[in-house]
């Protein structure tokens, strides 16, 4: 789709031009908005149709949750290495139990109680092991819903001073959620997944993955223990970001 490249570059050039004080009068706000929308749409379209990851290697991976095969995928745009762990035969790719997990070093590696990431990852692996078939896609570069580890820790300090997880990102002048799932979708397609039972509490993730041509046959809630340390975080994601939890007593351990 090389013909898209000149259009994309022209649109980017127009936006750059309008941001300068000598903007041509013909480029009014409506034009800027339209061109901006075009850039975003083309960017998403290119991610949908162009291959942006390549499979690098794979190996057997015994874990505390069960035995999997781990695949390494490398992004061709930024060189980041992403991971997929697979259980069983994907076969025709129908109704595969899938977790698309955003990297959270503090939660996944150190077991931080500030969020539910580590517990969700472990639960997803256990559910796949029980089912005998499924995939966890582990996406790098999604730290702090896309703001990066350094900014995430700054946001933690703001949260300790009373801001919630959404307000903290906004106070830092950063997006509340800038995660893109184009790479995740391409990894799933490469593994042969066509329709999936997606383990997530985030309905927007279902919509975003559908936008890349994957079908979500079912959303599987993945609710993990609610504690005094993550309760406000989870409540904020439910109230402001549309996440679905049952914040009832059955999950409370405090
Ligand atoms: Zn986390």
- CB-hemisphere CA count at 13 Å for 151? 20
pLDDT computed for residue 19 by the predictor: 46
CA of 38 to the centre of ligand 1 (A): 33
Q: Tell me the pLDDT of the chain averaged across its residues.
A: 84
Q: What is the pLDDT of residues 186-236, one digit of tens each?
A: 999 999 999 999 999 998 899 999 999 999 999 999 988 888 888 888 888
Question: Which of the following is catalytic: 177, 180, 190, 219?
Answer: 177
What does each C-alpha distance from 219 to 70, 96, 178, 222 come to in angstroms? 24, 11, 21, 9
Active site (annotated) includes residue 232: no
pLDDT computed for residue 31 by the predictor: 57
pLDDT computed for residue 4 by the predictor: 46
Q: What is the pLDDT of residues 168-182, one digit of tens each?
A: 999 999 999 888 999
CA of 86 to the centre of ligand 1 (A): 22
CA of 117 to the centre of ligand 1 (A): 4
Is residue 77 scored above 50 in pLDDT? yes
Closest-CA residue to 134 (of 174, 94, 185):
94
CA of 155 to the centre of ligand 1 (A): 12
Q: What is the pLDDT of residues 9-47, one digit of tens each?
A: 555 555 554 444 444 545 555 555 565 555 556 565 665
């Amino acid at each position: 789709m090389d013909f898209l490249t000149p259009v994309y570059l022209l649109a980017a050039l127009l936006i750059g031009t309008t941001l300068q004080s000598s903007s041509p009068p013909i480029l009014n706000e409506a034009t800027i908005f339209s061109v901006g929308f075009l850039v975003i749409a083309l960017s998403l379209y290119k991610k949908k149709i162009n291959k942006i990851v390549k499979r690098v290697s794979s190996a057997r991976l015994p874990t505390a949750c069960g035995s999997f095969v781990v695949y390494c995928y490398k992004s061709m745009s930024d060189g980041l290495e992403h991971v997929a762990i697979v259980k069983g035969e994907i076969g025709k790719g129908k109704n595969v139990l899938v977790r698309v997990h955003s990297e959270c070093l503090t939660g996944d590696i150190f077991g931080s109680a500030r969020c539910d990431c580590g517990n969700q990852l472990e639960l997803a692996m256990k559910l796949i092991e029980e089912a005998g078939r499924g995939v966890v896609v582990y996406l790098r570069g999604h730290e702090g819903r896309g703001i990066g580890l350094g900014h995430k820790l700054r946001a933690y300090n703001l949260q300790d001073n009373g801001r919630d997880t959404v307000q903290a990102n906004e106070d830092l002048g950063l997006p509340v959620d800038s995660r893109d799932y184009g790479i995740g979708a391409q990894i799933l397609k490469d593994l042969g997944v066509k329709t999936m039972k997606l383990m997530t509490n985030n309905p927007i993730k279902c919509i975003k993955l559908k936008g890349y041509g994957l079908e979500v046959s079912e959303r599987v809630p993945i609710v993990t223990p609610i504690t005094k340390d993550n309760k406000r975080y989870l409540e904020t994601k439910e109230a402001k970001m549309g996440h679905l939890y049952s914040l009832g007593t059955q999950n409370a351990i405090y």
